A and B are shown apart, each in its own frame.
Chain A
């Protein structure tokens, strides 16, 4: 029996109007990965903020290695051996890796920084855990996966034994996620305990020794990693059976809606980010782009949806070239776009849902009259209708978008883009960071759009999503579509193979 590192007993936390944590008990053993799963708003984050001293619980107790204590602030949490890798990294981009790691735990003499000793200690930690980073680079110059290593080094540097990871794989590619799990195993082998918060049930099943499911602030059940299954966890999370398989409507593809011909694009360093990309998407068809992120998918979407300039090639919508059209003309012609970064490009967070749901159509009747004066009543009516069709959970259509959960915000975008009745829908990472219930809903909406004969170009870092929704799949690598499959003729493994850039003749 391993030692209990952490025991949280009957933690209760009430916010005005919400019981965020209702007598939650949770423990962590030395050497285990204990997953904490639940839908958005179930209370996972609140519980972890209590553990980290950011919130104080209304009642309940916390003991670490058998000793009861109260954690009043993050400093005390750090001193008690708790380290947290937050979902949004707590790094300072213009600082070096070394600076980021030592802030708050500096080695000093008369207030003057010493960087030699910390550098030595960090090098030791990097070797021991296989987390190699150049400590003199600025954080803004390194990719997200490596930034996460910096976060891990930061908490190890402080001697953490209880490591909390809040949705660490949300920003990672499948390969980076595998790397992270390797690190997990190395850390638990050293006797550390890991609390793993995630939405991705495959990952939870792969790595967790135990799984605690919470719903509406209460622990539903703690499962053994071996006895759990995806459908069981999903059902416990949502409170009702969930269809994890998407029901694909039987629609035969119609005419060509989108045709991309020989697209070329170079970035500011003159490196090709799109390289002779050609493909077509038919009406009633989902064309999925698979690939490790950063292989040109973002650029491909932006040249089609955002009218980013291209160097060579052509983009045809329903047979007509759109290359010289601005964004409004493209939208009016029937291109809709679910952008990959919903906060940056998808929503105006402080604006109401009614306003957000009309964006992009706000200049058209009936939302404006002939003098371009906005008709608020029409906008609100439209919003109420869309909110009910798309099951957006909100107090009213006049609520600002920022007050909604991530899943509901994403539903707002999907609802807006589909209510424009597009010919072509560009869906970039449509369910990233969205909980199971909303994911299921969004997938069904995409299938509904397919049934209505819309053409859908899907880009997703989640290979399962691409596999389950697409009719045809193009694998993108270094700006090129290196292989195209129909869904039936391929497997996840084969696609993964091409995602790494392997050539056909290299296989056997």
Chain B
């Protein structure tokens, strides 16, 4: 095993981790505001389609990612309207969006490209760096910015307050609904970056393959913390990279090797029992004023 192979393993791992990590980072913002965002999977389906569609249509991957961020935010907005304003159970809203996203992406693909399950190849790609999609290198700075925003800014303090005790936030004159909308929309926007790092050269129905859910697991393993969530995503991402690169080289049946990342996820989460503490008001709709 030479040095360049090891280097490649490390950068490839970063690339494979990125879609999960950006979504996990988004989940942190949503959940710290008190909204469980299981819709991440659906939002990723929409953003992965949008980035390819916009890049092909507008001949620019940069416009593609911009549109993906906007599309992610809009789908998240639906989740916010349904679960924050109308106080529908957040899981139900999220599942509905996930189902809706599958249909919507296929419908649009059929309308725009004449084929339901995949788009043509997109030739407008991000520049490569060290042999991988350069967008993946944004992950570390964005994680640090996320940490800074959450713990060192007024917005972050208020967002966390709303996730812990919306009633207290209300009595302090904070805008509970506004802050929760912000948290959810940030999570949608970050799913735009997930799309940028997943596979922007072509959209295929089902390509997200549950990464939105893995991102939620990573966020829990990362204890609802931006840096923790990204580190957990890296663990899952590198486990997957290991599988991809060594599957054919070890004398264990492939099926077992493929199970590795998922078994790891289960073991890791089981080990977390009693240690992780969700924001106190996470998942609970809040009704303002006169009750």
Q: Please, which residues of chain A bring their CB within 8 A of the CB of B240? A: none
A91 CA to B169 CA, complexed, in Å: 9
Residue of B nearest to A89 (CB): B168
From residue 36 to 66 of chain B, which have CB atoms closer than 8 A to chain A?
none
Which of A29-37, A70-78, A485-493 touches B?
Answer: A70-78
A105, closest chain B residue (CB): B172
- B contacts with A: majority SS: helix
Interface residue ranges of A110-148 to B (CB < 8 Å): 111-113
Q: Are B152 and A54 in contact (CB under 8 A)?
A: no
Contact partner of A104 (CB less than 8 A), chosen from B160, B164, B173, is: B173
Say how far A11's CB is from chain B's closest CB, in angstroms.
15
A105, B169: Cα distance in complex, Å: 12
**CB contact under 8 A between A111 and B157, given known A74-B170, A84-B171, A90-B168:** no
Cβ distance B31 to chain A, nearest Cβ, rounded Å: 14
* Separation of A106 and B174 alpha carbons in the complex (Å): 12
B172–A74 CB distance below 8 A: yes
User: Which residues of A in the span 16-50 have a Cβ within 8 Å of any Cβ on B?
Assistant: none
Contact of A103 among B158, B167, B277, B280 (CB under 8 A): B158
- State how many angstroms separate the Cβ of B148 from the closest Cβ of chain A: 8
Contact B164 A75, beta carbon cutoff 8 Å? no
In whole angstroms, how far apart are the Cα atoms of A217 and B35 in the complex? 38
| Cβ-closest chain A residue relative to B158 | A103
Given contacts A54-B289, A103-B161, contact A90 B154 (CB under 8 A): no
Known contacts A54-B289, A111-B154: does B172 contact A104 (CB below 8 Å)? yes
Interface residues of A in 42-82 (CB under 8 A from B): 52, 54-55, 73-75, 78
Given contacts A55-B290, A91-B168, A92-B164, contact A75 B173 (CB under 8 A): yes
Q: Is A95 an interface residue (CB 8 A)?
A: yes
Partner of A92, one of B155, B168, B171, B277: B168
Asked if B248 is at the interface of the complex by the 8 Å CB criterion, the answer is no
Per-residue interface assignment for chain B, residues 156 to 196, with 1 indicating a CB less than 8 Å from any chain A CB and 0 otherwise: 01101100110111111110000000000000000000000
A103→B157 contact, CB < 8 A: yes
Known pairs A78-B173, A104-B172; A95 contacts B154 (CB<8 A): no
CA gap between A93 and B163 in the complex, in Å: 12
Q: Look across to chain A and name the residue whose beta carbon is closest to the beta carbon of B165.
A: A92
Given A52-B171, A74-B173, also A94-B153 (CB < 8 A) = no
Number of chain B interface residues as a range: 20 to 34
- Bound complex: CA A93 to CA B160 (Å): 12
A370 within 8 A of partner (CB):
no
B153: nearest chain-A partner, CB-CB: A111
Give the residue of B154, B169, B289 whose beta carbon is less than 8 angstroms from that of A106: B154
Q: A92-B165, A94-B164 are in contact. Are A104 and B153 (CB under 8 A)?
A: no
> Do the beta carbons of B165 and A90 come within 8 Å of each other?
yes
Which residues on the A side are within 8 Å of B165 (C-beta)? 90-92
Q: Does A86 contact B (CB under 8 A)?
A: yes
- The answer to whether B154 touches A113, judged by C-beta atoms less than 8 angstroms apart, is yes
Asked whether any CB of chain B lies closer than 8 Å to the CB of A99, the reply is yes
Question: In the complex, are the beta carbons of A90 and B153 less than 8 A apart?
Answer: no
Asked if A90 and B290 sit within 8 Å, CB to CB, the answer is no
Q: Contact between B290 and A94 (Cβ–Cβ < 8 Å)?
A: no
Rounded to whole Å, the gap between the CB of B43 and the closest CB of chain A is 26
Complex contact B172–A90 (CB within 8 A): yes
Q: Report how far A113 CA is from B158 CA in the complex, Å.
A: 11
User: A508 on the interface (CB 8 Å rule)?
Assistant: no
Find out whether the CB atom of B174 lies under 8 angstroms from the CB atom of A103: yes
Contact B172 A103 (CB under 8 A): yes
In angstroms, how far is the closest chain B Cβ from the Cβ of A61?
19
Q: Measured between alpha carbons, how far is A108 from B155 in the docked complex, in Å?
A: 10
Q: Which one, B155, B160, B277, B289, contacts A111 given CB within 8 A? A: B155
Instruction: Please measure, in the bound complex, the distance between the C-alpha atom of A340 and the C-alpha atom of B152, giving whole angstroms.
Output: 40
Report if A86-B164 is in contact (Cβ < 8 Å); known contacts: A103-B157, A104-B158, A108-B154.
no
Instruction: Give 11 A-B pairs besides A74-B171, A105-B172, A111-B155 with Cβ atoms closer than 8 angstroms.
Output: A54-B170, A74-B173, A90-B171, A90-B172, A95-B160, A103-B168, A103-B172, A111-B154, A112-B152, A112-B153, A113-B153
Of the A-B pairs whose beta carbons lie under 8 Å apart in the complex, a sample of 5, sorted by A's number, is A74-B173, A92-B168, A104-B169, A112-B152, A112-B154
The 6 A-B pairs at the shortest CB distance, nearest first, are namely A75-B173, A90-B168, A104-B172, A92-B164, A106-B154, A108-B154
